[in-house]
Amino acid sequence: MARRQGAESFESNKKARKQAKKANRTEASRDERETLVIACEDSVSAPLYFNAIFNDLKKNHKIAASSLVIANHNHTDPCGVLQDLLKHPNYQDFNHQWIVIDRDEERTHGGGHILENFNQAITRANSKKIRVAYSNPCFEIWYLLHYEYRNTAMDSDELIEKLVRDIQYKKNELPVLNQEQQNTAITNAQKLINSWKDSQGISRPATDNPSTTVHELVILLNRFKSTSEK
């Protein structure tokens, strides 16, 4: 009888140890969960795109609701976007910190910003180890690359006019995009960046029109999904 009780006690303790180990692994997984905060230059196109990705990850329980955050939008120039990120509560506690900015040259009828503002935002972000997803001329180049490879210069107005004409683009609506198109956009964006690099492998965001590094942020978000599925 005593031997049976001892065996039962051993099995009970063994089960308890397994449950405790599993709980510890779950807690560790939560502690190691990646987090990301971004600040966007525009208040519509980029937030619309990234919120769709965030919501999909959250809906499918790939990431916690508080893990992916877009900082409050208060500025429409690159340096101001960086300030929006730096003013986000505890921004430095996030594993990944990004700003999403446009070159968007000044236009005669208004809009855009000066070259110095764009370059300073990149320099200051780099000094604080904040990643930059830039687009030249604007975020919509990322959309265009889902449909075609484009390596000839254009300004923001020309780009948006092309999207309106070719895919009936509306700035306040997210285009219908699938994974295959996203893969195409990533390939096209990488090809563009490489085409601009000089013999030392250096690109020049301010003058490389068109170009974008939005794909780098998208690749990171795809990693969030694949990591959570392991």
| Cβ atoms 146, 182 nearer than 8 A | yes
Domain-wise residue ranges, the chain: 34-228
Predicted confidence pLDDT, tens digits, the chain (230 residues): 555 555 455 455 555 555 544 444 433 343 357 899 999 999 999 999 999 999 999 988 888 888 999 999 999 999 999 999 999 999 999 999 999 999 999 877 778 899 999 999 999 999 999 999 999 999 999 999 999 999 999 999 999 999 999 999 999 999 999 999 999 999 999 999 999 999 899 999 999 999 999 999 999 999 988 765 54
At residue 25, the pLDDT reads 41
Euclidean distance between CA atoms 228 and 63, whole angstroms: 7
The CB density around residue 94, as the number of other CB atoms within 10 Å, is 18
At residue 27, the pLDDT reads 36
